[in-house]
Amino acid sequence: MSASPSVGQPVSRLEGYQKVTGSARYAGEYNVPGLLYGYVINSTITKGKIIRFDVEKAKALPGVIAIFTHENRPSLAWFAQQYSDMDAPQGSPFRPLHNADILYNGQPIALVVADNFEMARYAATLVKVEYARENFDTGLKENLLKARPPKTGLANFLKPLPPHPKGDFEKAYSDSFARASGEFEHGTEHHNPLELFTTTTIYEGDGKLTIYDKTQGTINSQLYVGNIFGLHYKDIRVIAPYVGGAFGSGLRPQYQLFLSVMAALELKRSVRVTLDRTQMFTFGHRPPTVQHTRFGAGQNGKITALNHLAVAETSRFEDYTEVVVNWSNMLYPAQNTLMEYKLVDVDVFSPLDMRAPGGLTGMHAIECTIDQLACKLNIDPLEFRLINYAETDDSADRPYSSKELKECFRQGAEKFGWSGRHMRPRSMRRGNKLVGYGMAAGIWEAFQIPARAVAIITPEGKLEVSSAVTDIGTGTLTVMTQIAADELGLPVEAVTFSYGDSKMPFAPIQGGSFTVSSVGSAVKASVKALREKLFKAALKMDNSIFKGYKIGDVDFEGGRILLKSDHSLSLSFSEIIIANKGKAIRAGKFSIPDFLTLRKYSRAAHSAVFVEVEVDEDLGMINVTRAVTAVAAGKIINPKTARSQILGGMIWGISKALREETISDHHLGKYMNRNLAEYHIPVHADIHDLDVIFVEENDTIINELGTKGVGEIGIVGMPPAIANAIFNATGKRVNQLPVHLESLL
């Protein structure tokens, strides 16, 4: 191993220069000779049928090549569509241009292809569509009485249903010394990453395609294209080295991929399809959800009863589900529990995973009810959580592989200055501003998915590692390079990590905070196997200096194998390659979780969030002035990129609590603020003093790296901590997110 390991060090992003100078190319930035451009036409009604298209004026324009609708689209394989998408929920996925039926407002119904983007966009405005309208229903709250349990099936295997009830909740709640309850409403949100969804399909001839796609899974897009269009996977190459944010919106193949490939195959030309900002509101979203909680506790502060019901929207054609109600009994022991999760079918596109799906929604309701219960008992909210601290996962009757939440509480409270909090609301002020302190716990389950990587020592003695994994801006390239470098005792500069290409070894979609644990474990395993091959090759050399020794007797450092007992005895990788007739030495490994061991444990990252808010007493304006998040997430491979992930989650938590929502008009059945002028997100002036603490957590069970992931844990605790701080400042509990100013006036 290297004398100066890079794992655990704050290494700057290796692709940072390319990104800040603009030399990093995204899916819509590849220069392709003879490229055609597609522009999508979307339905302007919410439900019904297409009667006819009038395309004559559009087709007459110079440069318009084709206009595709359901009436003239090419025949397709449509093979096993549900299982060609790693993130497909239970049901029948949406098929673009499948037939005349309109299922939701904004549905793609036609594609105009021209020799330049501007002409395609203009021609799209000239296409006239005649519809037969049908009655629709897009309101969740108006249909709560129609809520039903989700359908069960293999899809979404990472999203377990609520645990079975325990004890007698109703009696325990009725007998509780203190009770707290609430109704919580979460509106619709859309992902809105900076990079628009774009696919550039290069037609190579003979049915072969090279596709530059905005995606969180190159192999996922490859599988989708192969199955939908009946192509051999080997003839499809999907490339996505740079992804300008996604937050879950790129987990499923979006319709621009389908339309770009369809047009390219039919026209035998290269075609690029880019969705504009308005069209980014026509697929996937965080679903609106209504929740009810009832928590009870004894006079000693011990929680005795937990009830959490969540009702969320889904589409008419798929059962999109989230893990919303499972978290409270994982955090807080209770002998009497009742957890329920239901869906309401409405005329919208299927919701889609959005950073910390379900966890962000559920933790708001849970942690605000916990805060309310603590106040009723006149116990400090931090002390109340310590009284009810769970050393094991009570919901599954299993120990945690590791859990340092208590240390998160201690370090976060000390850094924030929680001891200075006043229990009585409206008792802290700065001029005309009411000041409030709030806190919340956070939890996100730690997963690992099978993945593969290949490691090679080149004839020049350099290490090259590859995986099909994408990097959606999280620092994946840098972290994988660090893992590989340490495993072979090399500096980061001596390692090349290639990624974002479906021709490379298998990687799952990038999401769920499982990428480092999954692909990182595969990288470690492949380089470890490469070490063994290098040592075996060194043993085969004539008069090998390592004859009689085993791999445990040597070190790998600086591009050499050295005898531990005498570093003067060494061989360089280059010497070993020369002895190997100049041939590169290669090792590939699939990393598969040890399910038999892991099933005995619950695995989760934890956080403690502390927030200060100022609320203008006259205007109701809310400002998050400072916040501290303490995180326990196993081994932190790169504290610089990990800190960036947590800060991004904290900022988005502020947005979720105070700014962000998609406004629906249920009379029209459509979203009304489909732009970044009216879809409000924080700007620089909204963000103040944010701090991150990584608590040391040594997990020897979860995987060989000891990692848990940090993508989601940074956001889940922020909205409830903010809501609890608002209560401490104003004495008002506002359970609808985002918090509107009028709620505090």
| DSSP line for 492-556 | GGGEEEE-SBTTSSP---S-TT-HIIIIIHHHHHHHHHHHHHHHHHHHHSTT-TTTT--GGGEEE
Are the CB atoms for 213 and 291 separated by under 8 Å?
no
The domain ranges of the chain are 36-135+193-276, 143-189+285-447+599-744, 449-592
Once rounded to an integer, what is the mean pLDDT over residues 209-214? 98
Question: What pLDDT is attached to residue 16?
Answer: 95
Mean pLDDT of all residues belonging to the chain: 96
The whole-angstrom separation of Cα 439 and Cα 454 is 44
Structure tokens given for 276: 């504009």
pLDDT tens sequence across 398-424: 999 999 999 999 999 999 999 999 999
* Nearest alpha-carbon partner for 605 in 528, 502, 486, 708: 708
Q: Determine if residue 500 is left, alpha or beta; phi over 0 gives left, psi from -120 to 50 gives alpha, anything else beta.
A: left
* Nearest alpha-carbon partner for 273 in 332, 202, 366, 176: 202
The whole-angstrom separation of Cα 561 and Cα 403 is 38
- Beta-strand pair 670-671/289-297: unpaired
The separation between CA 385 and the C-alpha centre of its own chain, rounded to angstroms, equals 28
From the DSSP assignment, how many helices (H) and strands (E) are in the chain? 18, 33
Are the CB atoms for 173 and 307 separated by under 8 Å?
yes
Q: How confident is the model at residue 452 (pLDDT cuts 50, 70, 90)?
A: very high
Give the active site residue among 15, 318, 612, 712. Answer: 712
Structure tokens given for 261: 């490939």
Range from 1-5, 151-155, 165-169 carrying the lowest mean pLDDT = 1-5
Question: What pLDDT is attached to residue 76?
Answer: 87
Q: How many CB atoms lie within 10 A of CB 102?
A: 24
pLDDT tens sequence across 45-58: 999 999 999 999 99
Q: How many CB atoms lie within 10 A of CB 615?
A: 25
Are the CB atoms for 495 and 200 separated by under 8 Å?
no
Instruction: Indicate the length of the chain as a whole number.
Output: 745
Question: What pLDDT is attached to residue 82?
Answer: 62
The whole-angstrom separation of Cα 17 and Cα 26 is 15
The reply to whether 449-592 shares the fold of 36-135+193-276 is no
Q: Which amino acid is at 86?
A: M
- Say which residues have a Cβ less than 8 Å from residue 219's Cβ, sequence separation at least 6: 238, 468, 502, 506, 507, 508
Strands across the sheet with 566-572, in order? 554-557, 560-563, 566-572
pLDDT tens sequence across 630-667: 999 999 999 999 999 999 999 999 999 999 999 999 99
Q: Which residues pair with 555 in a beta bridge?
A: 562
pLDDT of 697 higher than 50: yes
* Nearest alpha-carbon partner for 91 in 101, 81, 99, 77: 81
The whole-angstrom separation of Cα 218 and Cα 241 is 9
Q: How confident is the model at residue 85 (pLDDT cuts 50, 70, 90)?
A: confident
The whole-angstrom separation of Cα 685 and Cα 208 is 49
pLDDT of 3 higher than 60: no
Q: Exposure of 588 by Cβ count < 10 A (0-12 exposed, 13-18 middle, 19+ buried)?
A: middle
Q: Percentage of residues in the chain with pLDDT exceeding 90?
A: 94
pLDDT of 139 higher than 90: yes
Q: Determine if residue 568 is left, alpha or beta; phi over 0 gives left, psi from -120 to 50 gives alpha, anything else beta.
A: alpha
Note the maximum CA span of the chain.
86
Its CATH class, for the domain covering 36-135+193-276, is alpha beta
Question: What pLDDT is attached to residue 232?
Answer: 94
Does residue 204 carry a catalytic annotation?
Answer: no
Question: What pLDDT is attached to residue 86?
Answer: 86
Q: Give me the CATH topology for the region 143-189+285-447+599-744.
A: Aldehyde Oxidoreductase; domain 4 (3.30.365)
Q: How confident is the model at residue 720 (pLDDT cuts 50, 70, 90)?
A: very high
User: For domain 449-592, which CATH number applies: 3.40.50.300, 3.40.50.2300, 3.30.10.20, 3.30.365.10?
Assistant: 3.30.365.10
The whole-angstrom separation of Cα 357 and Cα 607 is 17
Q: Exposure of 582 by Cβ count < 10 A (0-12 exposed, 13-18 middle, 19+ buried)?
A: exposed
The whole-angstrom separation of Cα 638 and Cα 8 is 5
Question: What pLDDT is attached to residue 154?
Answer: 66
Rg (CA), the chain: 27
Structure tokens given for 102: 């309109």
The SS3 of residue 482 is helix
Question: What pLDDT is attached to residue 152?
Answer: 80
Q: Which residues pair with 320 in a beta bridge?
A: none
pLDDT tens sequence across 303-320: 999 999 999 999 999 999
If you search the block for the tokens 């001891």, which residue do you land on?
A: 419
* Nearest alpha-carbon partner for 101 in 47, 162, 155: 47
